[in-house]
Amino acid sequence: MEWVTFVEVLLVVFTVSVIFFSGRGVIVQMRRWRATSERQRIEDALKLLLDYQWQQRPISARMLAADLRLSDTAGLRLVNIMQRQGLLETRGSDLQLTTEGQRAALQMMRAHRLLERYLATEARMPLTKVHREAHRLEHTLSPAEVDRLEADLGYPRRDPHGDPIPGPAGEMPSMQASALTAWELNKPAKIVHLEDEPPLAYAQILAEGLRLGQEIRILEITPQRYVLTDGDNEYRLAPAVAANVFVEALPEPSAAANGLVPLKALAHRQKAEIVALDDACQGFTRRRFLDLGLTPGTVIFPELLNSFGDPRAYRVRGTLIALRDEQASQIWVRPLNAQ
Amino acid sequence: MTEASLTSASDDSRHSTSRLTVKDLLSSAEALRPTLGEHFRDELVNSLYREAESIARRAVRQKDDHHYDLDQKIDRLVTSPIFGLPLMLLLLAAVFWVTIVGANIPSQMLANALFSLEEQGVAAFNWLGLPWWITGFLWNGVFRGLAWVVSVMLPPMAIFFPIFTILEDLGYLPRVAFNLDFLFKKAGAHGKQSLSMAMGFGCNAAGVISTRVIDSPRERLIAILTNNFVPCNGRFPTLIMLATVFVAAAFPPALASFAAAGSVVLVVMIGAFFTLAVSWALSRTILKGEASAFTLELPPYRVPNIGRILYTSLIDRTFFVLMRAVMTAAPAGAVIWVLGNLSVNGMSLAAHIANFLNPLGVLIGLDGVILLAYIIAIPANEIVVPTMLMVYMGAGMMTESPDHNFLYHLLVGQHGWTLLTAVNLMLFSLLHNPCATTILTIYKETNSKKWAIMSVVITLGLAFLITFLTASLARLAGWVS
């Protein structure tokens, strides 16, 4: 029948135009997609190389390919491209970033950590998810946009895991943290950095309930585990996971030693004075607390209990404000004796 | 940035060598900004509060607060584990009962007045000798659609919104949010969502607007997308019709209005269940994330300001919602008239479409006429019942509800309604897509076509899924053929 041929011709015309249509055809789209994914791979390789360089470990093209989950040939092609762009040079089988490559890598790291900071404190994404999202978004920002993001966030110095954020010229804020595995038994410490790679170990750290700014000491070290305490709870970590927790010596007597309790743990109808907002509470939530008048020195009084315990309402400056337990655990108070 | 010189002209002559322009000042401020550190905001707010406190100490003298003790007593009662939730449900039922009973008579009076105006208009047009279709289109179509929406919608809204505003003004509603927050927390949503839900009883568009009190975008979107699961005033007539024909008929007449209010509360609780379930599903799929900062201010109890309440509830809410409904009801009335009066092969267009939709309708335990009524009623849900009755009775225009016995015989006797039809119509009415006004409001509030479309896809998908499941279940169990 004639109309069958007609339909066939139409189909062929349609397919051809879909594939070749200038600017929107499948071929052009594929080329564009390959170009962006190549740029992403270069950017990922830059970060990886910088990491190895800081740890002063050598890296070969084969290791790079394996870490990026590429085939050896694809890894070699990537190295060739980066060499042509002047981002890296080879010494024997070792790969080394050029000055230009280092600058580009730091720029990537800066974008990544600022994005993590934004996602965690402003968009309030769960901490276990920010790394992946930031990894996806970091390839889309121009340096000018990164600068603007930094200004909007108020020039933060650390990302939500405690990693330092490089400045616009690539300068790094100094950091003298040591891994928990290198820390002495029973010596008080403050957690300053929780390594977010590999994600599995990071998820374990978070699941245990450890957080930045927490004051802890090591109770027990065995080949199987590290036992930590913050005075109230005990935390158990495998040594491999404990190596991802970084601590610093306490600058001053610890919060718990000063008789401070989180607002959440304050007894019902016990008057208290707000001493500080937790360091882990940043961005949107912190601004909201401050706007409500939950500033240091303010007297706070847990007045109204929900039948289900959470949220609880507190009287502050004459108004009644309800907070969920998650929020109330971020406010440090000192119980007052009067009343 | 202006380049105006900071120093005045006389200073200029003295210090002609050192000139500081605003531009210089701004650029040096910008250079110093990164050195400020992260906590300068804290210090800023701290010093503001300190300053405000010292001013207040000097200027404000505080007398003993007698209200404080009373407030605490009321607070402990309304948030108590035993009385808190029952009190809330009782209040809700009371508000519905007052709205249903109180709106009856004014609704009737408005309808009588407007429909007699229609008769006179028709008579006048006939006297002028205008062709029948002009008279029919304008008076029986456009005007009747308007009259219907006004008489059905205005009295309940004029009662519901003031009561609602009184509860809001009293300070009771924030306590409801406080009581119910544990549910919303589990669903990954914000406790203040219960405030926008309460608003949704009046009108879902108003409910969507009131989600502005939720300051986190993720939780606000959840509240917007699920607001439609709260039945609004426009859907009450359908629910009340079902309640009176199928439920209240079993009660003595004196209790009928309580039975009606009770069944509406039951439907509302089913709606609340779907709200929480969909919120939970959303916060685990497309709106992934954890419930974030929850801060809720519980204001002191106040004696409501009647003048302000009447103004905000009647002008801001009732009138505003009514105007939007009128704008959409007039064209809908015209469409209904055209469908009811244009005949093809001796059958009205409405009947043709209803026949076409019938297989789909039967599949989900309804019928083609009900689906047609819902399609026509996209602009305004009030006209679902009148449109349905128009098609069932083969009339050329929307008809007023006759008495319940007649209705029962028409629906059950002549058109094969079963208990399944009633239950599924109730569910469909609760779950189906938002009305055009609400969709438009969602688009305006989210500024995104994607979320406006999502709101329709979620609700309509769920409506078809649930009604299909109940219908299949009823058929499998052999309750209906």
A268 at interface of B, judged by CB pairs closer than 8 A? no
Q: Which residue of A has its CA nearest to B75?
A: A304
Task: Return the residue of B nearest to A330 by Cα.
Answer: B293
The rounded distance, in Å, linking the Cα atoms of B298 and B176 is 10
Using the beta-carbon criterion (under 8 Å), do A288 and B295 form an inter-chain contact? yes
Nearest CA in chain A to B83: A307
CATH 1.10.60.10 is the classification of domain A105-175: yes
User: Is residue B462 within a helix (H) or strand (E), and if so which, with residue range?
Assistant: helix B449-476
Asked if residue B134 lies in contact with residue B334, where contact means CB atoms within 8 angstroms, the answer is no
| Confidence check: pLDDT of B413 > 90 | no
Distance (Å) from the C-alpha of residue A323 to the closest C-alpha of chain B? 5
Each residue's pLDDT tens digit, B125-157: 889 888 888 888 888 888 887 887 788 778 887
pLDDT at B10 > cutoff 60 = no
Residue type, A199: P
Q: Is the peptide bond before B155 cis (omega within 30 degrees of 0)?
A: no
- The superfamily CATH assigns to domain A261-335 is Ferrous iron transport protein A (FeoA) (2.30.30.90)
CATH 1.10.10.10 is right for the domain spanning A33-97: yes
pLDDT of B16 higher than 60: no
The proportion of chain A whose per-residue pLDDT surpasses 90, expressed as a percent, equals: 9
Which residue stretches of chain A are H helix? 2-20, 26-54, 61-67, 72-84, 99-121, 127-137, 143-152, 199-208, 239-242, 283-291, 325-328
B87-95 long-range contacts, CB within 8 A, separation 24+: B88/B176, B88/B179, B89/B265, B91/B167, B91/B172, B92/B265, B92/B268, B93/B261, B93/B262, B93/B265, B95/B160, B95/B163, B95/B164, B95/B167, B95/B201
For residues B397-419, give the mean pLDDT. Answer: 78
Side chain identity at residue A112, one-letter code? H
> CB-side exposure of A61: number of CA atoms within 13 Å?
19
Average pLDDT over residues B324-329: 74
Task: Determine the Cα–Cα distance for residues A154 and A165; give it in Å rounded to an integer.
Answer: 13
Residue B402: alpha-carbon gap to chain centroid: 28
**How do residues B176-185 score in pLDDT, each as one tens digit?**
999 999 899 8
Q: Give the pLDDT confidence of A283-335 residue by residue, as tens digits.
A: 788 888 988 889 988 999 998 888 777 889 999 988 899 999 888 988 999 99
In angstroms, rounded to a whole number, what is the distance separating the alpha carbons of residues A178 and A192?
A: 9
Biggest CA-to-CA distance, chain B: 102
Q: Please say if the pLDDT value at position B83 is more than 60.
A: yes
Interface of B with A (CB under 8 A): 33-34, 36-38, 40-42, 45-46, 49, 72, 75-76, 79-81, 84-85, 178-179, 181-182, 185, 191, 215-216, 218, 288-300
Q: Where in chain A is the domain with CATH 1.10.60.10?
A: 105-175
> B318 phi and psi, to 5 degrees?
-60, -55
Q: Which residues make Cβ contacts (< 8 Å) with residue B283, sequence separation at least 6? A: B187, B188, B189, B218, B222, B289, B290, B291
Specify the pLDDT at position B212: 92
Which residues have a Cβ under 8 Å from the Cβ of B71 and sit 6 or more positions away?
Answer: B300, B301
pLDDT of residue B229: 95
Compute the average pLDDT of residues B345-372. Answer: 89
Where exactly are the structural domains of chain B? Answer: 332-476
Q: Which residue ranges of chain A lie beneath pLDDT 50?
A: 339
Contact A321 B296 (CB under 8 A): yes
pLDDT of residue A196: 79
Question: Does CATH number 2.40.10.10 belong to domain A178-249?
Answer: no
The verdict on a CB contact (< 8 Å) between A290 and B42 is yes
The β-bridge relationship of strands A261-262 and A189-194 is unpaired
Which 293-322 residues of chain A touch chain B by CB within 8 A?
A: 293, 295-298, 303-308, 310-311, 313, 319-322
Indicate yes or no: CB of A155 within 8 angstroms of CB of B49: no
Portions of chain A given CATH number 2.30.30.90 = 178-249, 261-335
**How many Cβ contacts (< 8 angstroms) between chains A and B?**
115
B183, B292, B301, B302: which to substitute to probe chain A, counting the most A Cβ within 10 Å? Answer: B292
pLDDT for B401 equals 61
Confidence of residue B2 (pLDDT cuts 50, 70, 90): very low
